[in-house]
Amino acid sequence: MSDSNGLMVFSKFDQFLKEVLKLPTAVFEGPSFGYTEHSVRTCFPQQKKIMLNMFLDTMMADPPPQCLVWLPLMHRLAHVENVFHPVECSYCHCESMMGFRYRCQQCHNYQLCQNCFWRGHASGPHSNQHQMKEHSSWKSPAKKLSHAISKSLGCVPTREPPHPVFPEQPEKPLDLANIVPPRPLSNMNDTMVSHMSSGVPTPTKRLQYSQDIPSHLADEHALIAAYVARLQHCARVLDSPSRLDEEHRLIARYAARLAAEAGNMTRPPTDLSFNFDANKQQRQLIAELENKNREILQEIQRLRLEHEQASQPTPEKAQQNPTLLAELRLLRQRKDELEQRMSALQESRRELMVQLEGLMKLLKAQATGSPHTSPTHGGSRPMPMPVRSPSAGSTPTHCPQEPLSGGGGDVQEAFAQG
């Protein structure tokens, strides 16, 4: 709903409102929440340029715009649908509640489940005229006591904003067109071999810091991102072994580049042995997977050739048609098994890349004291929705999804010590 500058396009937002407001219209709430020509201006009456932060503030305000008042309610209903309260209802006397819980502000320890409250049930001294408080979660008495003590001592942390604050200018996408060439240079492979066979570094090879570390880290991030994108788009590499060889050359070029730039980098001596063992184990696993992948591709190519030869009709093969059909069936079955195995290996390789990224993050966290440590790049979190009763302790669960990128300088150091 925005243009290239991050400004909201009112025509697109108008189309969005048309689609969203079809929901209340479908349940005969059109007179109250139906679409009108002035719905957009009721949401943003004065602003002419709407940025992302202003849009989120308006949509998540309390109360929200009139045409979208029902939207937070639907969110709360979906949020507490499976919330369990180990509390007995004071009217129907069920042992526990699901969904909302309503507590009377005048009657001591009088609580109703959502079904009894919505039907207007009351018992004992309680009356429907009493003020009720809606709860979307349950806190144990011990947790309430600890929260009260922390609040009295001033130990309660400040609440986070209802949504993340985004920059006014959208980030420009990274151009990877000139980062990764189709074929790596041969001298990079020679550099990697000479570095791997050098053994223990001599005093002349002692690692030092470089002034252009950020530019190198950006290049390495771009290389890893491009390689991951190629792996995602080439999950079924069945055409020819040349595609696999090209990937091997890309890995060799990346490792050689890390080895060539290791002379300008430094490393804490306490993490040397740990990084060496971890990266050696990771490289062994990746090498085993690549060997298995190469064998599977060769087997698939051989089966393909046999299938093409068997599919060509000849006078001699026409007389042996039942035998050829049986062999063809076995070959197809073998081919399916090999394809399934190759898919499993591809998934295993992706999992190893994720584990390697986690290891790099751990190493980066240990080296936070260094002034030359590269800054971490955090992914944006999903937008949390407000809950009516903050005192109920209902906190939306955030599941950030970070892109599968490498560890930058940490990956350089890891491959350099191999």
Q: Is the model's pLDDT at 331 over the cut of 90?
A: yes
Query: Residue with structure tokens 């144990």?
Result: 140
- Helices 241-260 + 409-416 axis angle, to 10: 90
Domain that holds residue 62: 10-68
Instruction: Give the pair of three-digit tokens for residue 380.
Output: 């944006």
Residue 50 in contact with residue 8, Cβ under 8 Å?
A: yes
For 257-270, what is the mean pLDDT? 61
In a domain, 378, yes or no: no
On whether residue 375 sits in a domain, the answer given is: no
First to last CA, the chain: 48
Q: DSSP letter at 165?
A: P
Please give the pLDDT value at position 184: 45
Alpha-carbon gap, residue 408 to 375, rounded angstroms: 10
Cα separations (Å) of 269 from 8, 228, 287? 52, 31, 27
Any idea which of 11-25, 226-240, 287-301 has the lowest mean pLDDT? 226-240
211 vs 246, more confident:
246
Same domain assignment for residues 52 and 84: no
For residue 311, the one-letter residue type is S
| 226 in the same domain as 279 | yes
In a shared domain, residues 291 and 358? yes
Q: What are phi and psi of 2, to 5 degrees?
A: -130, 160
pLDDT at 9: 86
Evaluate whether residue 341 is within a structural domain.
yes
Residues 104 and 42 in one domain: no
Using the predicted structure, report yes or no on whether residue 123 has a pLDDT greater than 50: yes
The three-state secondary structure class of 87 is: coil
pLDDT digits (tens, 9 = 90+) for 172-182: 655 555 444 44
Q: Residues 235, 100: one domain?
A: no
Total Cβ atoms within 10 A of residue 375: 9
pLDDT of res. 72: 82
Q: Hey, is 317 helix, strand or coil?
A: helix
Given the DSSP bridges, would you call strands 84-85 and 97-98 parallel, antiparallel or unpaired? antiparallel
Report if residue 150 sits inside a domain.
no
Give the total number of structural domains in the chain: 3
| 335 vs 187: which has the higher pLDDT | 335
Is residue 390 one of the residues assigned to a domain? no
Q: What is the mean pLDDT of residues 84-103?
A: 91
User: Residue 266 has which token pair?
Assistant: 């430094």
Answer for the pair 69, 33: CB distance below 8 angstroms, yes or no. Answer: yes
pLDDT bin (cut points 50, 70, 90) of residue 253 is: confident
Lowest mean pLDDT across 78-82, 124-128, 265-269, 277-281:
265-269
Q: CA 85 → CA 88, 218, 346, 373, distances in Å? A: 8, 50, 44, 47
Is the previous residue joined to 63 through a cis bond, with omega within 30 degrees of 0? yes
Co-location of 64 and 123 in the same domain: no
Same domain, 408 and 294: yes
Q: Are residues 31 and 102 in the same domain?
A: no
194-242 confidence digits (pLDDT tens): 444 444 444 443 344 444 455 556 666 677 777 666 665 554 444 455 5
- Whether the pLDDT of residue 289 is over 70: the answer is yes
> What is the DSSP track for 253-290?
HHHHHHHHGGGG----GGGHHHHHHHHHHHHHHHHHHH
Task: Note whether residue 171 is domain-resident.
Answer: no
Q: Give the whole-angstrom CA distance, residue 360 versus residue 352.
A: 12
Q: What is the mean pLDDT of the chain?
A: 72
Residue 17 lies in a domain: yes
Q: Lowest-pLDDT range, 39-53, 248-262, 358-372?
A: 248-262
Residue 50 in tokens: 């709407």
Residue 149 domain flag: no
If pLDDT is split at 50, 70 and 90, which confidence band does 400 have? very low
User: Residues 279, 229: one domain?
Assistant: yes
- Alpha helices in 123-212, H assignment, sequence order: 141-153, 186-196
What pLDDT is stored for residue 110 in this prediction? 93
Pair 217, 364 in one domain: yes
Residue whose C-alpha is closest to residue 292's, from 228, 343, 232, 334: 343
- What's the one-letter identity of residue 343? S
316 or 2, higher pLDDT: 2
pLDDT bracket for residue 171 (50, 70, 90): low
CATH number of domain containing 131: 3.30.60.90
Residue 416 has pLDDT above 70, yes or no: no
- Considering the domain architecture, whether residues 335 and 266 belong to the same structural domain is answered as yes
pTM of the model: 0.36
- Most confident of the following: 106-110, 252-256, 275-279: 106-110
350 vs 340: CA distance, rounded Å:
16
Query: Phi and psi (nearest 5°) for 44?
Result: -130, 80
Is 349 found in the same domain as 291? yes
CA distance 340 to 346: 10
Give CA–CA dist 4/172, Å, rounded.
Answer: 10
pLDDT of residue 189: 44
Return the higher-pLDDT residue of 293 and 220: 293
Which of 22-36, 113-127, 205-219 holds the top average pLDDT?
A: 113-127
Say if residue 265's pLDDT is above 70: no
pLDDT mean over 266-275: 55
Check: CB of residue 317 under 8 Å from CB of residue 327.
Answer: no
pLDDT for the residue numbered 218: 64
